[in-house]
Structure 1
Protein backbone atom coordinates (compact mmCIF):
# COMPACT_ATOMS: atom_id res chain seq x y z
CA UNK A 1 0.00 0.00 0.00
CA UNK A 2 1.34 3.44 -0.95
CA UNK A 3 1.74 6.44 1.34
CA UNK A 4 -1.06 8.11 -0.62
CA UNK A 5 -3.51 5.35 0.27
CA UNK A 6 -2.30 5.09 3.90
CA UNK A 7 -2.76 8.76 4.71
CA UNK A 8 -6.31 9.12 3.47
CA UNK A 9 -5.38 9.78 -0.14
CA UNK A 10 -8.76 9.26 -1.73
CA UNK A 11 -8.72 12.79 -3.08
CA UNK A 12 -9.39 11.50 -6.58
CA UNK A 13 -12.88 10.47 -5.53
CA UNK A 14 -15.43 13.04 -6.58
CA UNK A 15 -17.38 15.26 -4.23
CA UNK A 16 -21.15 14.78 -4.51
CA UNK A 17 -22.78 18.13 -5.27
CA UNK A 18 -26.49 18.78 -4.92
CA UNK A 19 -27.85 21.23 -7.53
CA UNK A 20 -29.14 24.55 -6.24
CA UNK A 21 -32.65 23.70 -7.41
CA UNK A 22 -34.21 22.99 -10.78
CA UNK A 23 -32.15 23.51 -13.94
CA UNK A 24 -33.09 27.20 -14.09
CA UNK A 25 -32.06 27.87 -10.48
CA UNK A 26 -28.92 25.81 -10.93
CA UNK A 27 -28.02 27.84 -14.01
CA UNK A 28 -28.56 31.14 -12.20
CA UNK A 29 -26.21 30.00 -9.43
CA UNK A 30 -23.34 29.49 -11.88
CA UNK A 31 -20.67 32.16 -12.04
CA UNK A 32 -19.84 33.58 -15.50
CA UNK A 33 -16.69 32.14 -17.07
CA UNK A 34 -14.43 33.10 -19.94
CA UNK A 35 -13.36 29.84 -21.59
CA UNK A 36 -11.05 30.40 -24.51
CA UNK A 37 -10.02 28.20 -27.38
CA UNK A 38 -6.32 27.27 -27.16
CA UNK A 39 -5.84 25.74 -30.60
CA UNK A 40 -7.33 23.68 -33.40
CA UNK A 41 -7.11 20.09 -34.60
CA UNK A 42 -8.90 18.53 -37.58
CA UNK A 43 -10.88 21.80 -37.85
CA UNK A 44 -12.09 21.42 -34.26
CA UNK A 45 -11.48 24.07 -31.58
CA UNK A 46 -9.27 22.69 -28.77
CA UNK A 47 -10.22 23.78 -25.24
CA UNK A 48 -8.16 21.54 -22.96
CA UNK A 49 -4.78 19.97 -23.72
CA UNK A 50 -2.87 18.56 -20.73
CA UNK A 51 0.20 16.38 -21.11
CA UNK A 52 -0.15 12.79 -19.84
CA UNK A 53 3.10 13.40 -17.95
CA UNK A 54 1.56 15.95 -15.56
CA UNK A 55 -1.52 16.01 -13.27
CA UNK A 56 -4.63 17.69 -14.60
CA UNK A 57 -6.69 20.12 -12.56
CA UNK A 58 -9.53 20.34 -15.08
CA UNK A 59 -12.94 18.83 -14.33
CA UNK A 60 -16.39 19.31 -15.86
CA UNK A 61 -17.26 21.83 -13.14
CA UNK A 62 -17.18 25.41 -14.43
CA UNK A 63 -16.49 24.17 -17.96
CA UNK A 64 -19.35 22.13 -19.41
CA UNK A 65 -23.13 22.44 -19.44
CA UNK A 66 -25.81 19.96 -20.63
CA UNK A 67 -24.08 17.01 -18.95
CA UNK A 68 -23.98 15.74 -15.38
CA UNK A 69 -20.44 15.37 -14.00
CA UNK A 70 -19.54 11.88 -12.82
CA UNK A 71 -16.11 12.49 -11.35
CA UNK A 72 -14.13 13.05 -14.55
CA UNK A 73 -10.66 14.60 -14.69
CA UNK A 74 -10.10 15.99 -18.16
CA UNK A 75 -6.84 15.72 -20.07
CA UNK A 76 -8.09 16.70 -23.50
CA UNK A 77 -11.17 18.34 -24.96
CA UNK A 78 -11.86 19.51 -28.50
CA UNK A 79 -15.23 20.23 -30.06
CA UNK A 80 -17.49 22.72 -31.79
CA UNK A 81 -19.30 23.65 -28.59
CA UNK A 82 -21.65 26.62 -28.55
CA UNK A 83 -21.59 28.58 -25.28
CA UNK A 84 -24.49 29.41 -23.01
CA UNK A 85 -25.16 32.80 -21.45
CA UNK A 86 -22.70 32.13 -18.62
CA UNK A 87 -19.93 31.17 -21.04
CA UNK A 88 -20.04 27.42 -20.30
CA UNK A 89 -19.50 24.98 -23.17
CA UNK A 90 -22.76 23.27 -24.14
CA UNK A 91 -21.72 19.61 -24.24
CA UNK A 92 -24.95 18.17 -25.65
CA UNK A 93 -25.21 20.78 -28.39
CA UNK A 94 -21.82 20.13 -30.00
CA UNK A 95 -21.75 18.30 -33.32
CA UNK A 96 -18.26 16.83 -33.04
CA UNK A 97 -16.26 16.12 -29.87
CA UNK A 98 -12.91 14.55 -28.95
CA UNK A 99 -12.42 13.90 -25.24
CA UNK A 100 -9.93 12.21 -22.92
CA UNK A 101 -10.56 11.83 -19.20
CA UNK A 102 -9.80 9.60 -16.24
CA UNK A 103 -12.19 8.55 -13.50
CA UNK A 104 -11.71 6.83 -10.14
CA UNK A 105 -15.39 6.44 -9.24
CA UNK A 106 -16.01 2.81 -8.31
CA UNK A 107 -19.38 2.57 -10.05
CA UNK A 108 -18.16 4.38 -13.15
CA UNK A 109 -15.11 2.13 -13.39
CA UNK A 110 -17.18 -1.04 -12.87
CA UNK A 111 -19.85 -0.14 -15.42
CA UNK A 112 -17.31 1.01 -17.97
CA UNK A 113 -15.28 -2.21 -17.70
CA UNK A 114 -18.41 -4.34 -18.10
CA UNK A 115 -19.92 -2.37 -20.98
CA UNK A 116 -16.68 -1.96 -22.90
CA UNK A 117 -15.89 -5.65 -22.61
CA UNK A 118 -19.39 -6.63 -23.70
CA UNK A 119 -19.65 -4.38 -26.75
CA UNK A 120 -16.08 -4.83 -27.92
CA UNK A 121 -16.73 -8.59 -27.97
CA UNK A 122 -19.90 -8.06 -30.02
CA UNK A 123 -17.96 -5.79 -32.39
CA UNK A 124 -15.39 -8.54 -32.92
CA UNK A 125 -18.16 -10.78 -34.25
CA UNK A 126 -19.28 -8.26 -36.86
CA UNK A 127 -17.98 -8.41 -40.41
CA UNK A 128 -16.95 -4.76 -40.48
CA UNK A 129 -13.86 -2.90 -39.33
CA UNK A 130 -13.44 0.78 -38.55
CA UNK A 131 -11.09 1.21 -41.51
CA UNK A 132 -13.90 0.17 -43.87
CA UNK A 133 -15.50 3.58 -43.36
CA UNK A 134 -12.48 5.86 -43.79
CA UNK A 135 -13.74 7.49 -47.00
CA UNK A 136 -17.35 7.87 -45.84
CA UNK A 137 -19.27 10.64 -44.10
CA UNK A 138 -21.22 10.25 -40.87
CA UNK A 139 -24.46 10.27 -42.85
CA UNK A 140 -23.24 7.57 -45.24
CA UNK A 141 -22.11 5.39 -42.33
CA UNK A 142 -25.48 5.79 -40.62
CA UNK A 143 -27.36 4.82 -43.79
CA UNK A 144 -25.14 1.74 -44.16
CA UNK A 145 -25.70 0.64 -40.56
CA UNK A 146 -29.46 1.10 -40.73
CA UNK A 147 -29.81 -0.77 -44.01
CA UNK A 148 -27.63 -3.57 -42.67
CA UNK A 149 -29.71 -3.84 -39.51
CA UNK A 150 -32.98 -3.87 -41.46
CA UNK A 151 -31.73 -6.64 -43.73
CA UNK A 152 -30.57 -8.73 -40.77
CA UNK A 153 -33.67 -8.11 -38.67
CA UNK A 154 -31.62 -7.03 -35.66
CA UNK A 155 -29.23 -4.22 -34.75
CA UNK A 156 -25.88 -4.48 -36.51
CA UNK A 157 -24.26 -1.14 -35.79
CA UNK A 158 -20.85 -1.97 -34.32
CA UNK A 159 -17.45 -2.36 -35.93
CA UNK A 160 -14.11 -3.63 -34.70
CA UNK A 161 -11.18 -1.28 -34.28
CA UNK A 162 -8.35 -2.22 -36.64
CA UNK A 163 -5.42 -0.54 -34.92
CA UNK A 164 -2.48 -2.92 -34.56
CA UNK A 165 -1.96 -1.89 -30.94
CA UNK A 166 -4.76 -0.85 -28.60
CA UNK A 167 -2.11 -0.10 -25.94
CA UNK A 168 -3.61 -2.45 -23.36
CA UNK A 169 -7.13 -1.06 -23.69
CA UNK A 170 -10.28 -2.16 -25.49
CA UNK A 171 -12.60 -0.32 -27.84
CA UNK A 172 -15.00 -0.34 -30.72
CA UNK A 173 -16.83 1.82 -33.27
CA UNK A 174 -20.53 2.50 -32.81
CA UNK A 175 -22.96 3.70 -35.48
CA UNK A 176 -26.52 5.00 -35.32
CA UNK A 177 -29.34 2.47 -35.36
CA UNK A 178 -33.09 2.70 -35.84
CA UNK A 179 -33.64 3.54 -32.17
CA UNK A 180 -31.84 6.86 -32.66
CA UNK A 181 -32.09 7.36 -36.41
CA UNK A 182 -30.34 10.70 -36.79
CA UNK A 183 -26.80 10.40 -38.19
CA UNK A 184 -24.05 9.85 -35.64
CA UNK A 185 -20.84 7.87 -35.19
CA UNK A 186 -18.82 7.24 -32.06
CA UNK A 187 -15.37 5.76 -31.40
CA UNK A 188 -14.65 4.53 -27.88
CA UNK A 189 -11.54 3.25 -26.12
CA UNK A 190 -11.00 2.51 -22.45
CA UNK A 191 -8.11 1.24 -20.31
CA UNK A 192 -8.29 -0.06 -16.76
CA UNK A 193 -5.32 0.65 -14.45
CA UNK A 194 -4.57 0.16 -10.76
CA UNK A 195 -3.00 3.35 -9.34
CA UNK A 196 -1.99 4.77 -5.98
CA UNK A 197 -5.45 6.39 -5.89
CA UNK A 198 -7.27 3.15 -6.63
CA UNK A 199 -8.82 1.71 -9.76
CA UNK A 200 -8.82 4.10 -12.71
CA UNK A 201 -10.24 4.13 -16.19
CA UNK A 202 -8.78 6.21 -18.97
CA UNK A 203 -11.40 7.01 -21.59
CA UNK A 204 -10.97 8.30 -25.15
CA UNK A 205 -14.11 9.27 -27.08
CA UNK A 206 -14.43 10.83 -30.52
CA UNK A 207 -17.97 11.29 -31.79
CA UNK A 208 -19.88 13.27 -34.38
CA UNK A 209 -23.51 13.91 -35.32
CA UNK A 210 -22.56 16.18 -38.22
CA UNK A 211 -23.89 14.36 -41.32
CA UNK A 212 -21.15 15.88 -43.49
CA UNK A 213 -18.27 15.04 -41.15
CA UNK A 214 -15.65 12.87 -42.85
CA UNK A 215 -14.86 9.78 -40.80
CA UNK A 216 -11.18 9.58 -41.80
CA UNK A 217 -10.04 12.59 -39.72
CA UNK A 218 -12.07 11.31 -36.74
CA UNK A 219 -10.39 7.91 -37.01
CA UNK A 220 -6.93 9.48 -37.22
CA UNK A 221 -7.54 11.77 -34.23
CA UNK A 222 -8.88 8.86 -32.18
CA UNK A 223 -5.73 6.81 -32.80
CA UNK A 224 -3.52 9.81 -32.02
CA UNK A 225 -5.25 10.35 -28.67
CA UNK A 226 -4.99 6.66 -27.73
CA UNK A 227 -1.27 6.64 -28.48
CA UNK A 228 -0.70 9.85 -26.55
CA UNK A 229 -2.79 9.08 -23.46
CA UNK A 230 -2.47 5.30 -23.17
CA UNK A 231 -0.16 5.64 -20.14
CA UNK A 232 -1.15 8.68 -18.08
CA UNK A 233 1.16 9.20 -15.11
CA UNK A 234 -0.10 8.30 -11.64
CA UNK A 235 -0.47 11.61 -9.81
CA UNK A 236 -2.80 12.59 -6.95
CA UNK A 237 -5.83 14.33 -8.41
CA UNK A 238 -8.61 16.21 -6.63
CA UNK A 239 -11.51 18.53 -7.27
CA UNK A 240 -13.87 16.47 -9.43
CA UNK A 241 -17.59 16.53 -8.66
CA UNK A 242 -20.56 14.34 -9.45
CA UNK A 243 -24.25 15.14 -9.43
Structure 2
Protein backbone atom coordinates (compact mmCIF):
# COMPACT_ATOMS: atom_id res chain seq x y z
CA UNK A 1 0.00 0.00 0.00
CA UNK A 2 1.38 3.41 -0.97
CA UNK A 3 1.86 5.69 2.01
CA UNK A 4 0.29 8.90 0.66
CA UNK A 5 -2.05 7.37 -1.91
CA UNK A 6 -4.49 9.90 -3.39
CA UNK A 7 -3.08 12.89 -1.52
CA UNK A 8 -2.57 16.30 -3.12
CA UNK A 9 0.89 17.67 -2.31
CA UNK A 10 2.71 20.93 -2.96
CA UNK A 11 6.50 21.10 -2.71
CA UNK A 12 8.25 24.46 -2.99
CA UNK A 13 11.83 24.78 -4.21
CA UNK A 14 11.33 21.51 -6.07
CA UNK A 15 13.49 22.06 -9.15
CA UNK A 16 16.62 20.66 -7.54
CA UNK A 17 18.10 19.05 -4.48
CA UNK A 18 15.94 18.21 -1.49
CA UNK A 19 12.74 19.56 -3.03
CA UNK A 20 13.17 17.51 -6.18
CA UNK A 21 13.89 14.34 -4.21
CA UNK A 22 10.92 14.98 -1.91
CA UNK A 23 8.53 15.50 -4.83
CA UNK A 24 9.74 12.25 -6.42
CA UNK A 25 9.31 10.25 -3.20
CA UNK A 26 5.82 11.62 -2.53
CA UNK A 27 4.78 10.84 -6.12
CA UNK A 28 6.25 7.35 -5.90
CA UNK A 29 4.14 6.78 -2.79
CA UNK A 30 0.92 7.79 -4.53
CA UNK A 31 0.54 11.56 -4.16
CA UNK A 32 -0.27 13.95 -6.97
CA UNK A 33 2.49 16.53 -6.63
CA UNK A 34 2.63 20.17 -7.68
CA UNK A 35 6.28 21.20 -7.89
CA UNK A 36 7.01 24.93 -7.64
CA UNK A 37 10.19 26.95 -8.05
CA UNK A 38 11.67 29.97 -9.84
CA UNK A 39 13.90 27.65 -11.90
CA UNK A 40 11.41 26.84 -14.65
CA UNK A 41 13.70 24.57 -16.67
CA UNK A 42 14.69 22.54 -13.64
CA UNK A 43 11.13 22.38 -12.36
CA UNK A 44 9.68 21.22 -15.65
CA UNK A 45 12.40 18.58 -15.95
CA UNK A 46 11.73 17.34 -12.42
CA UNK A 47 7.98 17.04 -13.09
CA UNK A 48 8.61 15.27 -16.40
CA UNK A 49 10.93 12.82 -14.65
CA UNK A 50 8.19 11.95 -12.16
CA UNK A 51 5.65 11.42 -14.94
CA UNK A 52 8.10 9.26 -16.87
CA UNK A 53 8.42 7.06 -13.80
CA UNK A 54 4.64 6.64 -13.64
CA UNK A 55 3.87 9.34 -11.08
CA UNK A 56 1.51 12.30 -11.18
CA UNK A 57 3.16 15.72 -11.21
CA UNK A 58 2.86 19.25 -12.56
CA UNK A 59 5.17 22.24 -12.35
CA UNK A 60 4.26 25.87 -11.65
CA UNK A 61 6.45 28.97 -11.48
CA UNK A 62 6.34 30.28 -7.92
CA UNK A 63 8.40 32.77 -5.95
CA UNK A 64 7.71 31.45 -2.44
CA UNK A 65 8.50 34.84 -0.89
CA UNK A 66 5.66 36.49 -2.87
CA UNK A 67 2.13 36.58 -1.35
CA UNK A 68 0.70 37.13 -4.83
CA UNK A 69 2.44 34.02 -6.16
CA UNK A 70 1.11 31.98 -3.24
CA UNK A 71 -2.42 33.19 -3.93
CA UNK A 72 -2.09 32.27 -7.61
CA UNK A 73 -0.66 28.79 -6.98
CA UNK A 74 -3.26 27.91 -4.36
CA UNK A 75 -6.07 29.22 -6.58
CA UNK A 76 -4.89 26.85 -9.33
CA UNK A 77 -4.82 23.95 -6.89
CA UNK A 78 -8.27 24.83 -5.59
CA UNK A 79 -9.71 24.96 -9.10
CA UNK A 80 -8.10 21.67 -10.12
CA UNK A 81 -8.50 19.61 -6.93
CA UNK A 82 -10.40 21.56 -4.28
CA UNK A 83 -7.98 20.71 -1.52
CA UNK A 84 -4.37 20.53 -0.37
CA UNK A 85 -3.35 17.61 1.84
CA UNK A 86 0.42 18.03 2.12
CA UNK A 87 2.52 21.18 1.98
CA UNK A 88 6.31 20.99 2.06
CA UNK A 89 7.82 24.44 2.54
CA UNK A 90 11.28 23.65 1.22
CA UNK A 91 12.30 26.79 -0.70
CA UNK A 92 15.20 28.65 0.88
CA UNK A 93 18.86 29.48 0.69
CA UNK A 94 21.52 31.74 2.11
CA UNK A 95 24.83 33.48 1.71
CA UNK A 96 27.95 33.45 3.84
CA UNK A 97 28.10 36.67 5.84
CA UNK A 98 29.06 37.20 9.45
CA UNK A 99 27.29 39.63 11.76
CA UNK A 100 29.72 42.44 10.91
CA UNK A 101 29.59 42.16 7.13
CA UNK A 102 26.01 41.13 6.34
CA UNK A 103 24.12 44.06 4.86
CA UNK A 104 20.54 44.89 5.73
CA UNK A 105 19.58 44.13 2.13
CA UNK A 106 21.17 40.66 2.37
CA UNK A 107 19.57 40.06 5.76
CA UNK A 108 16.12 40.92 4.43
CA UNK A 109 16.55 38.77 1.33
CA UNK A 110 17.61 35.72 3.36
CA UNK A 111 14.69 36.27 5.73
CA UNK A 112 12.34 36.61 2.75
CA UNK A 113 13.29 33.39 0.97
CA UNK A 114 13.47 31.33 4.17
CA UNK A 115 11.33 32.62 7.04
CA UNK A 116 8.89 34.86 5.15
CA UNK A 117 8.25 32.19 2.50
CA UNK A 118 7.55 29.59 5.18
CA UNK A 119 5.27 31.97 7.07
CA UNK A 120 3.22 32.88 4.00
CA UNK A 121 2.90 29.26 2.90
CA UNK A 122 2.01 27.98 6.36
CA UNK A 123 -0.57 30.70 6.99
CA UNK A 124 -2.14 30.29 3.55
CA UNK A 125 -2.34 26.51 3.88
CA UNK A 126 -3.90 26.66 7.35
CA UNK A 127 -6.62 29.03 6.15
CA UNK A 128 -7.49 26.55 3.40
CA UNK A 129 -6.90 23.19 5.07
CA UNK A 130 -9.07 24.00 8.08
CA UNK A 131 -12.11 24.06 5.77
CA UNK A 132 -11.25 20.91 3.79
CA UNK A 133 -10.66 18.34 6.50
CA UNK A 134 -7.13 19.21 7.58
CA UNK A 135 -3.69 18.27 6.32
CA UNK A 136 0.02 18.11 6.99
CA UNK A 137 2.57 20.90 6.74
CA UNK A 138 6.27 20.06 6.80
CA UNK A 139 8.64 23.01 7.02
CA UNK A 140 12.27 22.50 6.07
CA UNK A 141 14.70 24.24 8.41
CA UNK A 142 18.33 23.23 8.99
CA UNK A 143 20.75 22.13 11.67
CA UNK A 144 21.78 25.79 11.50
CA UNK A 145 18.74 26.40 13.71
CA UNK A 146 20.67 24.69 16.54
CA UNK A 147 24.34 24.87 15.59
CA UNK A 148 25.61 28.43 15.29
CA UNK A 149 27.85 29.04 12.29
CA UNK A 150 29.85 32.26 12.68
CA UNK A 151 29.54 33.18 9.02
CA UNK A 152 25.84 32.37 8.65
CA UNK A 153 24.26 34.99 10.89
CA UNK A 154 21.13 35.67 8.83
CA UNK A 155 20.68 32.06 7.70
CA UNK A 156 20.91 30.70 11.25
CA UNK A 157 18.41 33.29 12.46
CA UNK A 158 15.97 32.49 9.64
CA UNK A 159 16.16 28.72 10.16
CA UNK A 160 15.72 29.06 13.92
CA UNK A 161 12.69 31.24 13.21
CA UNK A 162 11.18 28.53 11.01
CA UNK A 163 11.48 26.10 13.91
CA UNK A 164 9.57 28.19 16.42
CA UNK A 165 7.06 29.51 13.87
CA UNK A 166 6.16 25.90 13.06
CA UNK A 167 5.79 24.87 16.69
CA UNK A 168 3.61 27.87 17.51
CA UNK A 169 1.41 27.25 14.47
CA UNK A 170 1.13 23.54 15.28
CA UNK A 171 -0.03 24.23 18.83
CA UNK A 172 -2.51 26.80 17.53
CA UNK A 173 -3.98 24.39 14.98
CA UNK A 174 -4.22 21.62 17.57
CA UNK A 175 -6.05 23.81 20.04
CA UNK A 176 -8.42 25.01 17.33
CA UNK A 177 -9.26 21.44 16.31
CA UNK A 178 -8.27 22.01 12.69
CA UNK A 179 -6.81 18.50 12.16
CA UNK A 180 -3.65 20.11 10.77
CA UNK A 181 -0.27 18.77 11.84
CA UNK A 182 2.83 20.93 11.42
CA UNK A 183 6.37 19.60 11.85
CA UNK A 184 9.91 20.69 11.03
CA UNK A 185 12.74 18.81 9.36
CA UNK A 186 16.32 19.87 10.07
CA UNK A 187 18.73 18.51 7.43
CA UNK A 188 22.43 18.35 8.01
CA UNK A 189 24.89 18.73 5.15
CA UNK A 190 23.39 17.02 2.11
CA UNK A 191 25.20 16.23 -1.13
CA UNK A 192 23.33 18.62 -3.39
CA UNK A 193 24.63 21.40 -5.59
CA UNK A 194 23.86 24.07 -3.00
CA UNK A 195 24.97 21.90 -0.09
CA UNK A 196 28.40 21.24 -1.54
CA UNK A 197 28.77 24.89 -2.53
CA UNK A 198 28.06 25.93 1.05
CA UNK A 199 30.55 23.35 2.30
CA UNK A 200 33.26 24.80 0.06
CA UNK A 201 32.54 28.32 1.23
CA UNK A 202 32.56 27.22 4.86
CA UNK A 203 35.82 25.31 4.63
CA UNK A 204 37.66 27.35 2.03
CA UNK A 205 38.36 24.11 0.16
CA UNK A 206 39.47 24.40 -3.46
CA UNK A 207 37.64 21.24 -4.58
CA UNK A 208 34.24 19.74 -3.84
CA UNK A 209 35.90 16.48 -2.83
CA UNK A 210 38.00 18.22 -0.19
CA UNK A 211 35.00 20.06 1.27
CA UNK A 212 32.98 16.84 1.45
CA UNK A 213 35.88 15.05 3.16
CA UNK A 214 36.17 17.80 5.75
CA UNK A 215 32.47 17.70 6.55
CA UNK A 216 32.35 13.91 6.52
CA UNK A 217 34.80 13.94 9.42
CA UNK A 218 32.24 15.94 11.45
CA UNK A 219 29.51 13.30 11.04
CA UNK A 220 29.64 10.31 13.42
CA UNK A 221 27.76 8.18 10.88
CA UNK A 222 30.77 8.47 8.55
CA UNK A 223 29.22 10.25 5.56
CA UNK A 224 27.22 13.31 4.60
CA UNK A 225 23.57 12.99 3.65
CA UNK A 226 21.85 12.20 0.38
CA UNK A 227 18.63 13.93 -0.74
CA UNK A 228 16.54 10.79 -0.19
CA UNK A 229 17.66 10.70 3.45
CA UNK A 230 15.66 13.88 3.96
CA UNK A 231 12.86 13.04 1.53
CA UNK A 232 12.10 9.81 3.39
CA UNK A 233 11.85 11.71 6.67
CA UNK A 234 9.43 14.15 5.06
CA UNK A 235 7.42 11.22 3.69
CA UNK A 236 7.03 9.85 7.22
CA UNK A 237 5.74 13.19 8.50
CA UNK A 238 3.39 13.53 5.52
CA UNK A 239 1.91 10.06 6.02
CA UNK A 240 -0.62 8.75 8.54
CA UNK A 241 2.21 6.84 10.20
CA UNK A 242 3.03 10.07 12.03
CA UNK A 243 -0.56 10.85 13.01
CA UNK A 244 0.46 11.50 16.67
CA UNK A 245 3.37 13.76 15.68
CA UNK A 246 2.99 17.53 15.60
CA UNK A 247 5.08 20.52 16.70
CA UNK A 248 8.12 18.24 16.45
CA UNK A 249 11.62 18.76 15.10
CA UNK A 250 13.04 15.86 13.11
CA UNK A 251 16.82 16.23 12.92
CA UNK A 252 18.34 14.22 10.07
CA UNK A 253 22.05 14.98 10.21
CA UNK A 254 24.08 11.82 10.68
CA UNK A 255 24.80 12.83 14.26
CA UNK A 256 26.34 16.22 13.37
CA UNK A 257 24.54 18.15 16.13
CA UNK A 258 25.31 15.48 18.74
CA UNK A 259 29.07 16.06 18.62
Scaled by the length of structure 1, the TM-score of the pair is: 0.26
1 or 2, which has the higher strand percentage? Answer: 1
1 or 2, which has the higher helix percentage? Answer: 2
Bigger CA radius of gyration? 1
